[in-house]
């Protein structure tokens, strides 16, 4: 997908209609909906119905199969590559397909290989991710996903902190076909520029709820890197 910038909205967090209007009209390439906890069918439906007032593409990251809501443009299924618990790599996904496979719009469903690198993040704790990795380990995980598993997306996640851009660039240089997504700790324009220069796609999330106007400026920051 030609996404360079995405805003991530959490169904379990409140956002005013005025703020949502600014986010959806910002020029971002897509809205990514998802969260590590508290995501339900009801709050996901509610957020989708509000976003659908706008023309911006809307993507659901299916972290909870019970919150898999129809009506999104695309669906991303996370697979945590550096988990120590195989349920987060294939177990939860297998059970979801067993239950909902006949209803899945497979043509708009894509696997997303996560590498979670901030041990303090909720996502790392929930998924039991091994975050004590050398750069060579991270690259190897990414290459397994890219070359062996042929995943279309690899997501380097530092949720809650700004990550190591040298590591991100090193991973990107080794990829053959996968699109590299970066998310985590982008709180200002310079960080947005650095991340956009290091990854194919950046995701801006938490700052939306704390410093909305600063978050909105990250869209133009990414455009400047493209130019």
3-state SS string for the chain: CCCCEEEEECCCCCCCHHHHHHHHCCCCCEEEECCCCCCCHHHHHHHHHHHCCCCCCEEEECCCHHHCCCCCCEEEEEEECCECCHHHCCHHHHHHHHHHHHHCCHHHEEEEEEEECCCCCHHHHHHCECCCCCHHHHHHHHHHHHHHCCCCEEEEECCCCCCCHHHHHHHHHHCCCCEEEEECCCCCHHHHHHHHHHCCEEEECCHHHHCHHHHHHHHHHHHHHHC
The pLDDT assigned to 102 comes to 81
Domains of the chain listed by start with CATH number? 5-226 (3.20.20.390)
> What is the model's pTM?
0.95
Question: Tens place of pLDDT for every residue, the chain, 227 residues?
Answer: 789 999 999 999 999 999 999 999 999 999 999 987 889 999 999 999 999 999 999 999 998 887 889 999 999 999 999 999 999 999 988 888 888 788 889 999 999 999 999 999 988 999 999 999 999 999 999 999 999 999 999 999 999 899 999 999 999 999 999 999 999 999 999 999 999 999 999 999 999 999 999 999 999 999 888 66
The pLDDT assigned to 98 comes to 85
The pLDDT assigned to 46 comes to 97
């Amino acid at each position: 997908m030609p996404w360079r910038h995405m805003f991530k909205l959490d169904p379990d967090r409140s956002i005013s209609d005025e703020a949502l209007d600014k986010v959806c009209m910002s020029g971002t390439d897509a809205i990514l909906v998802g969260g590590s906890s508290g995501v339900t069918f009801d709050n996901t439906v509610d957020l989708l119905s509000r976003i659908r007032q706008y023309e911006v593409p809307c993507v659901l990251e299916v972290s909870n199969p019970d919150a898999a809501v129809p009506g999104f443009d695309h669906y991303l299924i996370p697979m945590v590559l550096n988990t120590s618990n195989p349920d987060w790599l294939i177990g939860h996904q297998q059970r979801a397909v067993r239950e909902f496979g006949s209803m899945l719009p497979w043509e708009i469903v894509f696997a997303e290989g996560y590498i979670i690198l901030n041990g303090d993040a909720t996502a790392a704790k929930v998924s039991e991710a091994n975050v004590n990795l050398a750069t060579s380990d991270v690259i190897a995980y990414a290459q397994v996903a890219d070359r062996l598993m042929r995943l279309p997306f690899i997501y380097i996640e530092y949720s809650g902190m700004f990550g190591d851009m040298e590591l991100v660039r090193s991973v990107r240089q080794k990829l053959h076909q996968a699109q590299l997504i970066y998310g985590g700790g982008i709180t200002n324009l310079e960080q947005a520029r650095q991340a956009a220069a290091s990854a194919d796609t950046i995701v801006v999330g938490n700052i939306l709820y704390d410093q909305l106007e600063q978050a909105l400026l990250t869209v133009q920051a990414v455009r400047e890197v493209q130019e």
